[in-house]
Amino acid sequence: MSGDEKTIVFQQNMGVGGETVDPLTPECVEGIIQAIFTPGAIRDLLLGAMTAEGLAIASFDELMGRLRGFFGDNAQGMFQQAGFGALDSDFIAQAGRLADFERRFSVDVHRYDIDDKRTPNVVYWPNPAHPKAPSSLFEELPYIRSLGLVDKSTPIGSAGSCFASEIAWYLQEQGYNYIVEEFDERDAPKPESPARWGIIFNTPSFTQLAEKAFGLRTMPKLAEYHYAGQYWQDPFRENVVFGSIEELEVDREKHLAACRRAFETCKVFVITLGLNECWEYIPDGTVASRNPKTPLHFALFRHRVLSVAENVEYLQRFLDVLRANNPDIQLVVTVSPVPFMATGLGAEKHVVVANAHSKAVLRVAAEEFVGANEGVHYFPSYEMVSHCIENAWEEDQRHIRRPAVARIMQLFETMFVTTPDGA
């Protein structure tokens, strides 16, 4: 900005009684015209006409009327007089810019209005000390509108981190049509997912799950001994219990069929994103559900930290595979509020810092994924625990207390269930 440019003044045009107080300054008119139109003869003509000496433009609405009038008055003559193919492209382009500007402005000028919102807290952060309208975060359900995706008969499933188990259990306990194609009580007291694919902590594992279900990927055949649990497991199926390697091997084909049936049946599917760190199988790039359990497996896997773009790509592939086989399926995406148990970046980052980065990356990835796809919806369980629930944590400061889970699922039912009471 050069030193001789004049300050653009944004004055309040209307008085208390609605009367006009001051006209727009020429500098303000000039700034608005420059914001709307690109440089060229049309803009120069408008600048000269709208800032002419002695011309008083009382308000923004009057300025818009004059600009519309310019294009309306000149359009008829231009269309009548121009030969074939000779219409002034700049005139048409600038008229389009005016129309685009007015559409954008009509939305932007009302962005902080509360009259048409469900509650003022949709726009303004709740403030219990507000002198006129006190409200508390701990009473807030952070949603905009109810979508009515689910009723008690809707086939629904879920997958994801340990918080996804809470969602699965709640839906079953409340009588929803939670799809279960495969279950073994050795894994958990009740089904944690529609098939025994185990806990899923990272987005590549979602992609692999869909691809293997529909025969698009052959998973490496690995087995590891879970010393803490005293059982065998497939490292791509975390917390799925087998008494022997032979039992694990026999189960593989049956499991794939159960995965496929579950994805073909569900109309709504909830996924919970857990971690940004993952362990990649070096020979072919397949990603484990969590970290290796035996020292030898660390020789076969390498640690990875996924970017926002990588997470979005994996999520998109997951959805594309599902919809190729079940076109009407809808996804509900959430980020697990449960923090890291441990980070693989301890040499360079504290676990609290690594966890904050992980959740931020996953939250941005979820936002981009939801924004790019119809029928994909965000469920703010992470925000509920972070901001809207007082005393959310168990004594271990990692897992969610039962009353907090109930409050989160109250939000789920408010957002997604047609008739929460099952009526």
**pTM, whole model, 2 decimals?**
0.88
Give the pLDDT confidence of 49-94 residue by residue, as tens digits: 898 888 889 989 999 999 999 888 876 655 455 444 545 788 889 9
pLDDT at 420: 52
User: In sequence order, what DSSP letters do the residues of 42-64 get, joined into one string?
Assistant: HHHHHHHHHT-TT-----HHHHH
- In one-letter notation, the amino acid at residue 171 is L
Give the contacts of 1 (CB within 8 A, at least 6 positions apart): none
pLDDT at 309: 98
Of 154, 165, 182, which is closest to residue 254 (Cα–Cα)? 182
C-alpha span between 354 and 211 (Å, rounded): 30
Domain boundaries, the chain: 26-99, 156-416
pLDDT at 227: 86
Are 379 and 412 spatial neighbours (Cβ–Cβ below 8 Å)?
A: yes
Strands 268-273 and 330-335: parallel
Are 199 and 165 spatial neighbours (Cβ–Cβ below 8 Å)?
A: yes
Q: Which residues pair with 273 in a beta bridge?
A: 335
Half-sphere exposure of 136 (CA within 13 A, CB side): 4
Give φ, ψ of 75 to 5 degrees: -65, -45
pLDDT at 321: 98
pLDDT at 75: 67
- In one-letter notation, the amino acid at residue 299 is A
Of 118, 135, 117, 149, which is closest to residue 412 (Cα–Cα)? 149
pLDDT at 163: 87
pLDDT at 23: 84
Of 29, 56, 55, which is closest to residue 43 (Cα–Cα)? 29
C-alpha span between 30 and 36 (Å, rounded): 10
pLDDT at 380: 97
Are 276 and 305 spatial neighbours (Cβ–Cβ below 8 Å)?
A: yes
Are 351 and 243 spatial neighbours (Cβ–Cβ below 8 Å)?
A: no
Of 231, 237, 285, which is closest to residue 259 (Cα–Cα)? 237
- In one-letter notation, the amino acid at residue 352 is V
304 membership: H or E segment, kind and range? strand 301-305
C-alpha span between 89 and 95 (Å, rounded): 10
CATH code matching the domain that covers 156-416, chosen among 1.10.10, 3.40.1350, 3.40.50, 3.30.70? 3.40.50
Map tokens 């015209």 to a residue.
33
Q: Tokens representing 43?
A: 């803009």
C-alpha span between 364 and 352 (Å, rounded): 18
Question: Which parts of the chain register pLDDT below 50?
Answer: 1, 14-18, 79, 82-84, 86, 422-423
Q: Could you tell me the sign of the dihedral formed by the alpha carbons of 168, 174, 176, 180, in that order?
A: positive
Are 366 and 273 spatial neighbours (Cβ–Cβ below 8 Å)?
A: yes
Q: Which residues pair with 280 in a beta bridge?
A: 287, 302
Q: Tokens representing 67?
A: 């600009």
